Structure 1
Amino acid sequence: MDKPWTVSHGPIIATEFDVQKAEAISVLLIRPIDILPSKPGDQIRPFALGLFNDIRALVKPDVGATALRRAVGSFVHSKRYYFASGQPDSMRHDINGKPVEPLSIADRLVAQRRFLNLKRNNDENSASGIESAPSPAPPSKTEQIRTALLRRDTQT
């Protein structure tokens, strides 16, 4: 794909799944942020560059940066987020949901490629009858230690 899309699909609206991803971010913060969709039908808005730092400043004291990064990553690496970012009229938004600048052509092309790759993968999985099961969560530190200790016991 060398040319950016020229026809806009208008605002890309959030589904229930998008809202669940947004809520996963919101529960980690001391206050809600307006850029995230709060209900199905709300618009998905591409983040301004560097917005993660603004979001990180609002994280609850007991929440680690890794948990926040994973939650935000799940939202911004989704098919609908890429679709919203790839639109010809797509704008980046600040933490309050206000548009601040248009996405560059290069950023739109990257979003379009990623959207099409995710779409193709979903289509291939649907055609082959493969259910796209969520990947298992990585083992906790406790589980890793337990596994290492059990391995050591069976080797002696």
Structure 2
Amino acid sequence: MDQKAEATKSPRARSGPVLAREREVAKTEAINALLTRPIAILPAKVGDPVRPFALGLWNDIRPLLKPDVSVSALRKAMATYVHSRSYQIAVARVGSLRHNIKGEPVEPVLEADRLDALKKYEGFQTRDGSSNAKSTSPVQLTKTEAIRIALLRRKEKPR
């Protein structure tokens, strides 16, 4: 397969890293505009990988806030990014690693976090009107994971 065709494939269809699109880059530029210096974990250009944040990364980012910017503005910008479809796919991928502020991998994503991200991703598909969320899932589920998700859905439905 040539590189052009590979680059146009949906990030959900591949098992490699999730690559940033224009909308993710715009969100990261908004975050970096609020900081005294850009942070390396965020994708700087289209095609850079979207990497899951290390737990507690907020404590490293918060001190970089420009003095004239409110903390709530930074929280909103960060929330917009971490609740995006691409970020959730990156977290949901099997074997995903969390990264520190420098963009270096520090720990694997916990299974519970991965399943939660997968559930959020499926919620995006439901809102988009997709009728078959399971067939376009960004990750291949094991039988145990599929059963776990089915049981979680059962608990959520009112009786």
Query: Which residue pairs with 2:56 in the alignment?
Result: 50
TM-score, structure 2 length as denominator?
0.72
Q: State whether residues 8 and 87 of structure 1, in contact with CA within 8 Å, keep that contact through their aligned partners in structure 2.
A: no
Query: Which residue pairs with 2:73 in the alignment?
Result: 67
Select which of 39, 44, 49 maps to 1:38.
Answer: 44
Write the deviation string for residues 80-121 of structure 1: whole angstroms up to 9, x where unpaired.
100000000100000000000000100000000001111221
In 2, Cα distance between equivalents of 1:8 and 1:38: 21
In 2, Cα distance between equivalents of 1:52 and 1:91: 17
Select which of 92, 100, 107 maps to 1:101.
Answer: 107
Query: Which residue pairs with 2:128 in the alignment?
Result: 122
In 1, Cα distance between equivalents of 2:15 and 2:127: 21
Distance 1:42 1:24, change over 3 A: same
Q: Unaligned stretches of 5+ in structure 1?
A: 1-6, 125-156
* Local SS of the residue matching 2:106: strand
Give the aligned residue type for 1:11. P
In 2, Cα distance between equivalents of 1:83 and 1:116: 10
Give the aligned residue type for 1:76. V
Give the aligned residue type for 1:114. K
In 2, Cα distance between equivalents of 1:39 and 1:12: 13
Query: Which residue pairs with 1:88 in the alignment?
Result: 94
> CA RMSD for the aligned pairs?
1.3
In 2, Cα distance between equivalents of 1:33 and 1:76: 15
Please tell me whether residue 27 in structure 1 is matched to residue 33 in structure 2. Answer: yes
* Local SS of the residue matching 1:47: coil
Seq. identity, %: 50
Give the deviation of 1:8 after TM superposition: 6.7
In 2, Cα distance between equivalents of 1:46 and 1:91: 7
Q: Unaligned stretches of 5+ in structure 2?
A: 1-12, 131-159
Q: State whether residues 36 and 45 of structure 1, in contact with CA within 8 Å, keep that contact through their aligned partners in structure 2.
A: yes
Distance 1:38 1:89, change over 3 A: same
Moved over 4 A (4+): none
How many residues are matched? 118
Query: Which residue pairs with 1:78 in the alignment?
Result: 84
